[in-house]
Amino acid sequence: MGNSASGKIQIDIETMLKTSEILVSDECRIYKVPYQLRKWNEEAYTPKVISIGPYHHNKEKFQTTEKHKVRYFRSFIQRAEINLENLVTTITEMEDIIRHCYVDFVQLERDDFVKMIMLDATFILELFLKDNLGEWTRDDPMHVEAWLQDVVMHELLLLENQLPFFVIEKIYHLALPSRSNSPSLIQLTFDFFKHWNIQKKAPEGEIKHFTDLLRFFALPPHNLLPERNPKQDFPKYSATQLREAGVKFEVGPNKCVLDLSFKEGVLEIPLLEFQDDTEAYVRNIMALEQCNHTEDRYFTDFYLILDRLINTDKDVDLLSHKGIIVNSLGDNNVITSMINNLNRGIYRSNMNSNLCRLCEELNAFYEKPWHRWKALLRHQYFSTPWRAASTIAATIFLVLTLLQTVCSIIQIVPRV
């Protein structure tokens, strides 16, 4: 009896040790969002319509789109130059490599895992091809229900909803070898996600997955990325405080989030459009940087600075008035709350050296005696129209009183 019990415990422990040893790929890593980030806005990281990859697989709410995947799989196989058996064999041979891309343990049997990868990858490829070639059928839900394609496009970018790009690319080249003169997969991908390619980057380079692509769209070319600085400096004063000290705000000419500049008292900030999907867009890139870009969190740097510039609705009002912020969400307090919550749970160890220098210059500008006095005067006496009017009226009254006093003295003093 005792030996039987100890033997069972030994087997359980060996199983536990085996499942705890997760070999992680160096080629591509796909993460679950850490709890300290997820708890602030779980919806921003969680797909609602479609599941891609293992992290949200087999949930009941995705039953409808699972049927769409089967339909797209059938369509893809009809256009492909590979039979089903070869496709399954190819994915099966890659199974271990694909599994190791997922940092969290995937509890799926081999057959289920291979089937999931096959359906998800072919769905993505068929969706890209239909979109690129305009081959929509009348009864295709992605075409009939316009909102569905928009939501699917958005959810394909979520960090927890990813396939390794090399898997999709392998299936594309294997199934459609005669498309050598047609757009490459990277071109199809750039075309499908062009809404987020605000810098109009050319379809080149290597991407790990679609969230990685999203970050690629947001940053400048790799060779133009500034050095990192172990020192971290942030603005000590909000946008309204800086304005009171004489800082002028303008929309920057570029759309890259690294293109902040401060010259001759003018702070240029790139155009910031806040829409329904903005928070999820920002949060998923920041989550990726927290997990996989520990030494080069360039995107996060910008939003850490923005968090210091925006403390109240007045700061959003100011930046909106200057055309820097375009608000499609309604009240400005929604943006204030969003910005102030983005950086909760964020770990930081170094900083973009250019932005670090910019923050030092901003703080130094405010702290010059004349600028500080100017800010104090504006805050105390000109912060509202009524207070400004009262200050001006009091000043006029004081001047008139002084003039009257001088005139009275002149009349009293006898002329020689």
d(CA 239, CA 221): 29
Q: Which residue has the tokens 């930046």?
A: 319
Q: What angle do the packed helices 298-309 and 332-342 form, to 10 degrees?
A: 130
pTM of structure: 0.84
d(CA 324, CA 205): 31
Question: Residue 5: pLDDT band by 50, 70, 90 thresholds?
Answer: low
d(CA 169, CA 191): 15
54-63 — which CB contacts under 8 Å span 24+ positions? 54/102, 54/106, 54/108, 54/113, 54/116, 55/102, 55/104, 55/160, 55/161, 56/160, 56/161, 57/108, 57/116
Residue 273 near residue 343, CB atoms below 8 Å: no
Question: Residue 293: pLDDT band by 50, 70, 90 thresholds?
Answer: confident
Lowest mean pLDDT among 64-73, 101-110, 349-358, 374-383: 374-383
Lowest mean pLDDT among 3-7, 239-243, 289-293: 3-7
Q: What are 381's two structure tokens?
A: 């006496």
Residue 63 is predicted with a pLDDT of: 93
Q: How many residues make up the chain in this entry?
A: 416
Convert 45-112 into a string of H (helix), E (strand) and C (coil).
HCCCCCCCCCCCCCCHHHHHHHHHHHHHHHHHHHHCCCCHHHHHHHHHHCHHHHHCCECCCCCCCHHH
